[in-house]
Amino acid sequence: MFGLDRASRTVRRRAAALAVTAAATAAATALTGAPGAVAAPQPIVGGTTTTTTAYPFVMQITDASQNQFCGGTLVAPTKVVTAAHCMVGETTSSVRVVGGRTYLNGTNGTVSRVSRIWIHPNYTTATRGEDVAVLTLSTAMPYTTAPYVSASDTAVYAAGTTARILGWGTTRSGGSSSNQLRTATVPTVSDSSCAGSYGSSFVAAEMVCAGYSSGGVDTCQGDSGGPLLIGGRLAGITSWGQGCAQAGYPGVYTRLTTFSSLVTAQVTS
């Protein structure tokens, strides 16, 4: 089909290696101040560093050894919204949620076990949609939660609206994860334009696209499950795309307005 990139189990299995590589990369980058040094690539692709102090609701989704493989968003003290594709093959004993930890190689913040994993009942693959999951935490996170859109808020997706992406994902397709949380802004893309990019894999009722037509700024491997914020509210979940930051291929995000009632049922359960 397109050779689409998703945070597959392959990526998850690579997470431990990537986390270690990220620390080594950060150390190497510190040495590149010499004349003639080439600027390091900017992860998320095209982003800037930030912190979980600035974005306290951004969670690392990790394995039991606290190796990050996806992102998530704290929407209530014990509820985290993430992508369904991040939870494929996972169990309540295989995952952890880590809050308040800006660096992948940090040991600070709050680590919680997961007592329940809700995956959208119709989820099959990210390119078919329904890429939403809600985790219930065993330990309440002492961090500010993010508000999320309600079903009637569809105007937030108007083409050209500024959206913020966040994550610890790779700096380019097939590259290394970022040791530090990164963020960038990207404009939302019209449904017709996104359908032009992705054909029938783009399901407008369930997905929304964001990115510059020239590429250069995007989510990438390991950013999946993390937030797309519009007007300070969670409006999308990082889901899939062809490669990362390629011209003509914006990132694809779960259209949260479609699922907000279902999410609320989980958040209040």
Which residues are near ligand 4AZ by CB under 6 A? 5-7, 11, 218-224, 238, 240-241, 244, 251
Min CB(32)–ligand 4AZ separation in Å: 26
Q: How far apart are CA 199 and CA 31, in angstroms?
A: 44
Q: From the candidates 176, 177, 201, 224, which is the catalytic residue?
A: 224
Min CB(86)–ligand 4AZ separation in Å: 8
Query: What amino acid is encoded at 195 in this protein?
Result: A
Question: And the tokens for 11?
Answer: 């990526």
Q: Closest-CB residue for ligand 4AZ?
A: 241
Q: How far apart are CA 144 and CA 131, in angstroms?
A: 24
Helix ranges, 31-65 (H): 43-46
For ligand 4AZ, the closer CB: 46 or 222: 222
Annotation says 5 is catalytic:
no
For ligand 4AZ, the closer CB: 78 or 176: 176
Helix, strand, coil tally for the chain in percent (to 5):
20, 30, 45
Min CB(206)–ligand 4AZ separation in Å: 16
For ligand 4AZ, the closer CB: 5 or 76: 5
Min CB(269)–ligand 4AZ separation in Å: 27
Query: What amino acid is encoded at 170 in this protein?
Result: T
For ligand 4AZ, the closer CB: 150 or 193: 193
For ligand 4AZ, the closer CB: 43 or 267: 43
Min CB(49)–ligand 4AZ separation in Å: 19
Annotation says 85 is catalytic:
yes
Q: How far apart are CA 175 and CA 214, in angstroms?
A: 20
* CB-CB contact of 137 with 115 (8 Å): yes
Q: From the candidates 85, 176, 191, 260, which is the catalytic residue?
A: 85
What residues form DSSP beta bridges with 68?
62
Q: How far apart are CA 183 and CA 198, in angstroms?
A: 25
Q: What backbone phi and psi angles, to 5 degrees, belong to 188? A: -65, 155
Q: From the candidates 5, 112, 120, 131, which is the catalytic residue?
A: 131
Q: Which residues are catalytic?
A: 85, 131, 224
